[in-house]
Structure 1
């Protein structure tokens, strides 16, 4: 079975991006959080596999190291469109260079496609947050 590396990379990049956005540079760490959603967990697993961080690799390839460097760069600038393109190209190169790896990852069950989250607010000094686990102070008096 021949895997189209370009198409597979296009399909996988949103998961990798979600993981980098969710975890930052720690995305390549072995620890997974139960609180992370399925998309981020899948992206984290994908990136660890592609960079060789999920195995005891003593000598990762130059391509794997380049991908890891891009992950760290994206963690500092997650909205950088150029880095997202670089990430997709590097994933494509890794998959094209290793058909067995591409076939393995192509067979992984995927969570639903990551959705774009839009958060809006209205009203004077109304905070806009996706998740809040603590008190939000807007400067008003608290009773």
Structure 2
């Protein structure tokens, strides 16, 4: 099975960064629970497979060690776009060096892609919510 690792790396990076943002460097070791979001769980699974932490007592490659180091760095600065780009490049390099890992991950079913929601508000006492299933009271009618 031939895998386009450039596209796969592009597709996987948002899941990996979501897991890192949620759990920091612990994304590589945190145990999944029913309460964990599907996107974060999938990102953790990707990171564990890519870094070789899905198989205990196995030797890791230089690419896997470099990726684990980048995960730790990105955990400390989750909004750093440069580190997120480095993560994507390292994922691509690792999958190019280990086509078996790329083929394995390419066959996994993916949850809905993570999205970023931006909510803004303006004006005095204006509420800002993503979803509202009831009434929003901002107080009385005085300023």
TM range (shorter): 0.7 to 0.9
Note the C-alpha offset of 1:35: 2.0
**If the length of structure 2 is used for normalisation, what is the TM-score?**
0.81
Whole-Å separation in 2 of the counterparts to 1:20 and 1:49: 14
Distance 1:129 1:94, change over 3 A: farther
Whole-Å separation in 2 of the counterparts to 1:57 and 1:129: 47
Unaligned runs of 5+ in 2: 131-143
**If the length of structure 1 is used for normalisation, what is the TM-score?**
0.81
Query: What's the RMSD between the two structures over aligned residues?
Result: 2.1
Whole-Å separation in 1 of the counterparts to 2:56 and 2:70: 21
Structure with higher Rg: it is 2
Unaligned runs of 5+ in 1: 131-143
Q: How does 1:35-114 map to 2 (within 5 A)?
A: 35-114=35-114
Q: Can you list the C-alpha shifts for 1:68-126, whole angstroms capped at 9, x where unaligned?
A: 11101011101101100110011001111111211110000000110102244567798
